[in-house]
Amino acid sequence: MVQSMTAFARCEETAAGCAIGWELRAVNHRFLDVQFRLPDELRALEYPLREAVAGQLKRGKVMCVLAVSQNSSSEALELNRPLLLQLLATLERVRRDAPEAHTSNPMDLLRWPGMLQQAAISPDGPVAEAIKALFKTALDALVQARRNEGEALKEAITKRLDEIDGIVAECRRLSASVAEDLRTRLQARLAELKAEVAADRLAQEVALLAQKADVAEELDRLAIHLNEARSRLNGPGPHGRRLDFLAQELMREANTLAAKSVLPSAAGVAVDLKVAIDQIREQVQNLE
């Protein structure tokens, strides 16, 4: 199935007293580049989550951002013991230097900035399991979004391939009459110059020009590349790199065809061909 490399997915839920949210963004990239933004206490989850992404995606830059918010109940709070011990030691020194100082109130200590913290989330607890389950849901949604866009891109690319088929057919029609058109143009030019040329010499010049303007090979290779592009597009993925290469080959043949065009009508058709191929190249850049 054709997949795009650009997609977005967001999933949220509440589990074990925590609000959990995953946001996944995917954009174009030559390879698979997965980046995570996780709380420090949950860094241990990164490796299995990264493996899950690699199991479903082959290319693209994927940014995975986790947001976890605990409730404000007392069960979610813990005492910052190192800070408390440091503060008590400081107060003890103050009492030694100033015995008349007032004894500290425990509530004043609890109000000290940073004294009470939210309890760290265990990477093996129920919240972590909910985080991993929600990530799978978000990843599935991201993959589905990539597939949906990929199908739309496939339809657009197929339409351009059909358009190129028509252009190639028009080029064949024009190339079939190129010798006669060249003869007519040469005769008209000779008439303007009032020059006399032997019939065999004229035929020789026409044959030489027609040989230089012959685009049969280019048209045959265009047809081969078009068939290969359709085959790849309908085959198993990944598709992007191969189709990008074929688009480059199509453009190479189109450039040669344009260089050989000696008739204004053929030159115009060659320009249309290059435009259609360039549109395909832009689209395949988004395919996995």
Give CA–CA dist 77/120, Å, rounded: 9
What distance in Å separates the CA atoms of residue 43 and residue 15, rounded to the nearest whole number? 19
Bridge pairing between strands 60-70 and 18-27: antiparallel
Q: Look up the pTM and report it.
A: 0.70
pLDDT confidence of residue 74: 40
> What dotted CATH number matches 151-284?
1.20.140
Please say whether the structural domain 7-73+122-146 has been given the CATH code 3.30.230: yes
* C-alpha 248 chain-centroid distance: 18
Question: Whole-angstrom Cα distance, residue 267 to residue 270?
Answer: 5
Residue 170 corresponds to which tokens in the numbers above?
A: 């028009």
Please give the Cα distance from 143 to 125 (Å, whole number): 27
| CB half-sphere exposure, 63, CA atoms < 13 A | 8
Please determine whether the domains at 7-73+122-146 and 151-284 fall in the same fold group of CATH.
no
CA-wise closest residue to 179 among 202, 156, 196: 202
pLDDT of residue 110: 64
Which residue ranges make up each domain of the chain? 7-73+122-146, 81-114, 151-284
What gap in Å lies between CA 115 and CA 77, rounded to an integer?
Answer: 10
* pLDDT per residue rounded down to tens, the chain (288 residues): 889 999 999 999 988 778 899 999 999 998 999 999 998 888 888 999 999 999 999 999 999 999 988 765 545 556 667 777 777 788 777 777 777 766 667 777 666 676 655 555 655 678 888 999 999 999 999 999 999 999 999 999 999 999 999 988 888 777 665 555 655 665 566 566 566 666 666 566 555 555 555 567 788 888 999 999 999 888 887 888 899 999 999 999 888 888 776 666 677 888 889 999 999 999 999 998
Could you report how far apart the first and last alpha carbons of the chain are, in Å? 10
